[in-house]
Chains A and B, each alone.
Chain A
Amino acid sequence: MIEVKNLSKHYGSFVALDAISFQAAKGQITALLGPNGAGKTTTMKIITGFLNPTGGQVLIGEQDLSRHRLNIQKKIGYLPENAPLYPELSVDEHLDLALEIHNIYGEEAVKHKKKVLQRCALEDRRYFLISELSKGYKQRVALAQAIIHDPEILVLDEPTTGLDPNQIADIRALIKDLGKNKTIILSTHIMQEVEAMADQVVLIDHGKIVVAGSTDTIRSTHPELMCFRLVIKGKSTLVKSCLSKVKTIVETQKVAEVEKGVFQYLVSAESDIRRDLNKAILANEELELWEMSLEKQSMEDIFHQLTNFHS
């Protein structure tokens, strides 16, 4: 259990973190989400004891991090941003180093090493130097060294950057599996990652928490926009002009061509307008409504609403 209380970090007059508070429970994956430069990495550096906060407190299992730093750190596995490693060492030597730093030797060390090599799919690169590895492999070595001593707490800064789609799926599954009996905090700016893994989201922007809670709660407390998926046969210009007459529509997007002359649209609106949509389309003889459904609002929509992501 990690409890962050009123954490602040100032660099001179620049406020990187402004009194943020949240909790991360055991057996849960907490995602710090936010645009680049929001303060995610700073938060993680403070939680792992690498940086001292300007103000506030981090409690880990009821122990104050600033007072018991070295002991608490032994229980943490940390994957920093950009997977820093020693280019002169081999994968095997790197894992040995991580084991020795945590005082794991002998048969137990062999067991731990074998397990992470297999879990992170590194067996075929075991004796390669780090400098010979591709970005994806480096990322996995850094993850392997973070989990090799089986820590209670895992802090992962953008764990899937640099991986190809297959590897991303594998690593997400691995993190999800690890999350069952550990406390995991990960950071990301990719929405799908949150939806795929996280139980809890802490949305940060400009050093402040915009919203925090379980993914389900956030969805239900931010129903501002509803999203409808429509499949309509007919010219898309006609559809657009037809839908523009419906009230409360915020945005109409043509997403895909399902068949020749049949298009799929995503329509977001401030209220349930299914009846109005129906009427508007059926009123036009050149259009046929093939499908209509209410979409679950994605975390991405909420993310865009709550942060000025593109500014």
Chain B
Amino acid sequence: MYQFKALFKKELRIYFNSPIAYIFAISFLVFSTWLFFRFFFLQGQVEMRSFFGILPWLFLFFLPALSMRLWSEEYRQGTIEVLFTSGISEWKAVAAKYLASVTLLLSLLLLTALLPISISFLGNLDWGVVLLSYLGAFLLGAAYLSIGLWASALTSNQIVAFILGILSIFGVYIVGHSMVTFSLPAKLASIFQMISLSSHYESISRGVLDTRDLIYFVSIILLFGGLNVYLLIKKR
């Protein structure tokens, strides 16, 4: 546990000692707020649907930027040698890095809470749907980060890790989209929908909490976490 704690703390320190975390948070808030209010005043309804609709696309570019350096910089600087010669197992290191990035995601989502709070003064906001959508957004972001962290372990170049992360997440996100599935046989289409991030995210944002969606997100996180550990062990 002490090893996990030490590494977790180190990752957060690196985020906050460098400008990464601040630039990241500010630009994310500026983008999301601007996009939200653009639609909000057009629609004239007190609801957050448009915000949660654009979130997967904002996350697609912002979250891989958060995870890209986690392994690739360790390779590039050579610090991975110190890390994996001090008696730390691969899965503990993966968990520490992953949860540090998830902590940043969580604080980011908390900062966006100013949006629903401010529009709730304008009318009657359905807090149940908003909270559930937040849960969905958190799970979606957590899955993105797991994929992004795995992509970061593929290369010692941050930019390559960033692009690989975006491509991989995009792939898992759109496989269930109707544009992909319309030409497929029904059986295959339903499988594609089952493994797609988008269908599970949309079903939560609609305001329905299904345990299958929860299980899906946890499995994706564990799957890419497992692949990440495997990749590190193979490099030894």
Report which A residues bind B (CB closer than 8 A): 45, 48-52, 70-74, 76, 78, 80-82, 84-90, 93, 97-98, 100-103, 129, 145
Report which B residues bind A (CB closer than 8 A): 2-3, 5-7, 9-10, 13-14, 17-18, 77-82, 84-89, 236
Contact present for B86 and A102 (CB under 8 Å): yes
List, in ascending order, chain B residues with CB within 8 A of A78's CB: 81-82, 85-86
Beyond the given A49-B85, A88-B17, A100-B5, please list 12 additional residue pairs across the A-B interface where CB-CB is below 8 A. Answer: A73-B85, A80-B78, A81-B78, A82-B78, A86-B77, A97-B10, A98-B86, A101-B2, A101-B88, A102-B87, A103-B2, A103-B3
Q: Is the interface of B mostly helix, strand, loop or mixed?
A: helix
List, in ascending order, chain B residues with CB within 8 A of A45's CB: 81
B104 CB to nearest chain A CB (Å): 15
Contact present for A50 and B84 (CB under 8 Å): yes
Contact present for A84 and B87 (CB under 8 Å): no
Question: Which residue in A90, A101, A145 is a CB contact (below 8 Å) of B6?
Answer: A101
Q: How many A-B residue pairs have CB under 8 A?
A: 77
User: A102 — nearest CB in chain B belongs to which residue?
Assistant: B86
List, in ascending order, chain A residues with CB within 8 A of B3's CB: 101, 103
The interface centre, meaning the residue of B3, B9, B78, B86 with most chain A CB atoms within 10 A of its CB, is B86
Contact present for A73 and B10 (CB under 8 Å): no
List, in ascending order, chain B residues with CB within 8 A of A129's CB: 17
18 A–B contact pairs at CB < 8 A?
A45-B81, A70-B89, A71-B87, A76-B85, A78-B82, A78-B86, A80-B78, A80-B82, A81-B78, A84-B82, A85-B79, A88-B17, A89-B10, A93-B17, A98-B86, A101-B3, A101-B86, A102-B87
B21 CB to nearest chain A CB (Å): 11
A76 to B14 Cα, complex, angstroms: 25
Known: A50-B84, A51-B236, A70-B87. A86 touches B5 (CB 8 A): no
